[in-house]
Amino acid sequence: MPKHKRTSPLARSRRGRLAAATATAAALTGGLLTLTATTATAAPAAATQPDDADFNGDGVADLATSAPHANVGGKDKAGQVVVTYGGAEQRHVTYSQNSAGVPGSAETRDYFGGDTAYGDFDGDGYDDLAVGAPGEDVGSDTDGGTVQVLWGSPGGLSGGSTIKDPRPTKHDNFGGPIQAGDFDGDGKDDLAVGAASGAATIDVLDGGISRSGATGGRYTVLPPIHSGEGAGPFNLHSGDVNGDGKDDLIVNGYSTGDDYNANLWLPGSANGVTTSGVQRLPAGIITDVGDTDSDGYGDVIIGLDWDEGIDGANKGGTVYVVKGNANGPYGDSQAFTQDTAGIPGGSEKGDFFGSELDLGDINGDGHLDLVASSPGEDLNGVTDAGSLTVIYGAADGSGLSTAGAALYSQDTPGVPNANEKSDFFGSDVHVDDLNADGRGDVAVGAMGENGLNGAVYILDALPDGSLAGTSGVYTSTVGISSSGTPRLGVGFAD
């Protein structure tokens, strides 16, 4: 079983960090920094700006934010999701299992919103939102877990359908990590679902999902990671790394080869996700995929936020960029720390640089930029205030460059509120063009704000690529109870 368990003071957020839904800390292990080559051939497929969610089909991006510890109707940690509908006048709508049309009912420790993913699952032209409730009790299956799909429509998300655990009675937190992608290239969004406290098996719902909950098909993938409580897949992410027009799946877990934390690249194929040709990447739970150097191949961004005890770790945390090519993620690599020349600030133990990250075109120049958070950053004597760093894509499209990199905290002019102890500003970050001006705005979670009530700050991208906001989104703004520790902003859907 896994070696060298390490504990972070942060409740790990979405994208597979199920501890955000089940505990205030996550036990993580180190991993070997290795890459294994395979052979494949593929023609490049151009990709620049990642897709934004659009639940109401108005052509403007929408944002889904989790508060998985929210108290709903007196049920502690039942969980809620807040959707910000983009536009000139943004509006916020809060959903729970007590909302009209959403299946089930809010129950204690369901952790509705423990992970979320979006895609047009029924092919009607509106994005839908898949919401994991990994603590859901299903009959006698305590913490069996479930996934609810909330359906897009001209009025936004409305109604929902249940995706049932295919292995009931296992108490396995089905719906922990979830991720959408077109893994077989048929033009239909598929949904990959893991069970964070059970088998390493990942279920892929293939060929779309109907409003009855039926799927075009279902198959399983068994990556070489450990099963069992505290194991299973921690994170899932998708993107086309080898340029063949099919999304690949990045799976994070404890490798069965050596018990260390590992990211595994599982290629997509005409038959969907396959373990044939699997490649091992640097460790680090959080990942993203995007074409940072405009060569037609997706690059894998990895946040390795540990200070030590793992190959590739550096004090304060590290972000790795593993370049894609026709063989998969086996191109050149970049590494950034807060001690890298041009990156503002400095590396300090417990910063958790790279704890969360997201790609998007912030300055509107057609090249991807990277936002990497440091939610454990201490600033001017304020412990765990948190910060984020923007690393821009080079103007010539050659990749991410430290030129002009900028650091933002709540004491930065133009950023709402102020640095406070244990705000964890940067508990998650997401880039979306929420005002349809052609530039990616940055949503920042601060799950520790106001005693773990949490908050979200939407920073508009200005013409020069800088960021500024006017106000925050708080639990009181969106009708979430302040009872308990809701942790609004612990995760965003992608």
pLDDT at 50 (0 to 100): 58
Interval 308-324 mean pLDDT? 95
Mean pLDDT, the chain, integer: 89
Single pTM value for the model: 0.91
pLDDT at 71 (0 to 100): 98
Nearest to 471 by CA among 386, 422, 405, 414: 414
Whole-number Å distance between alpha carbons of 267 and 277: 7
Over residues 419-467, the pLDDT tens digits come to 999 999 999 999 999 999 999 999 999 999 999 999 999 999 999 999 9
**Rounded to 5 degrees, what are φ and ψ at 303?**
-100, 110
Interval 219-239 mean pLDDT? 93
Over residues 464-493, the pLDDT tens digits come to 999 999 999 999 999 999 999 999 999 999
Over residues 20-52, the pLDDT tens digits come to 222 222 322 233 233 333 333 333 333 334 579
Q: 200 burial class (0-12, 13-18, 19+ CB within 10 angstroms)? A: buried
Pairing outcome for strands 318-322 and 299-304: antiparallel
Over residues 294-315, the pLDDT tens digits come to 999 999 999 999 999 989 999 9
pLDDT at 345 (0 to 100): 94
Q: Are 194 and 235 in contact (CB under 8 A)?
A: no
Question: Confidence band (pLDDT; 50, 70, 90) for 2?
Answer: low
pLDDT at 28 (0 to 100): 26
